Amino acid sequence: MATEKKILLITGGNTGLGFEAVKALCESQKAYEIIIGCRTVSKGDDAIAKIKKLVPQTASTLNTVQVDLESDESLERAVAEISSKYGRLDVLINNGGGSFDYEILQGRMSLREGFNASWNVNVTGTHILTTLAVPLLLKSSDPRLIFIASGTATLTETERSDTPALQRINASPPAGWPKQAIGMSTTAYRSSKTGLNMLMREWRRTLLNDGVKVWAVSPGFLATGLAGVGAEKLKQMGALDPSVGGNFLKDVVEGKRDHDEGKVIRKDMIQPY
């Protein structure tokens, strides 16, 4: 299907940060062909219906495709469907991800299960989808590849505790064993997101001479359902509305951070590795 609109795939676009990014793009004066990738197509359809009510005047077009980051077959089908329908991809936002530390803490997952799930969804599945989608990106005149980073993943800031947020994730528990959980338990999540930073750098190296612009976007501490503790509790801890991150992502798509390409970026700075 020939179209002058930018064709954009965003995984996990039916909820949280992904939903807000889709909404922000629909509010833009620019028109997009937005493909929401999610595990359950009906949830993507529900998100589209909601956005059409919120932004009825949008010039963008919305569709959904089934994307399960834990299934190679799902990813292969999704990319084949996009290739058949559109023939190219201008923007890939690797937003889909998971946090399983709370499942470990509650005993619903073993330590191995939780760590493997964190890496499988946040790193491995993302890498496989990107690998499959690159040939479509290379058909774009302005290809953009975005990974969703985390402020918890920076190695440099593990040595800091000068803000409440850093105190929560970096504080050391009292001596003795077993350790009691303090603050937020994010070991599996932040380890996988640190790995994702390297994945972004590897893709930037790989695609540098192809003209693909690559970023890891660190959207900030947002009140989404990702941590498994509830949006309201996160807001009480200082989390911002997910729309803040959604508008930030739109700005990156629309070129406002092109000068920071190849970096892990926050809204107002480069995030240290």
> Which residues are designated catalytic?
150, 189, 193
* Residue bearing tokens 């953009």: 144
Tell me which residue of 266, 142, 152, 158 sits closest to 214, measured CA to CA.
142
Token code pair at residue 191: 């380890």
- Measured distance CA(82)–CA(73) in Å, rounded: 14
Q: Phi and psi of 144, rounded to 5°?
A: -130, 135
Please compute, for residue 240, the number of CA atoms within 13 A of its CA located in the half-sphere on the CB side: 14
- Measured distance CA(76)–CA(81) in Å, rounded: 9
Strand order in the sheet with 269-270: 61-66, 32-38, 6-11, 91-94, 144-148, 213-217, 264-266, 269-270
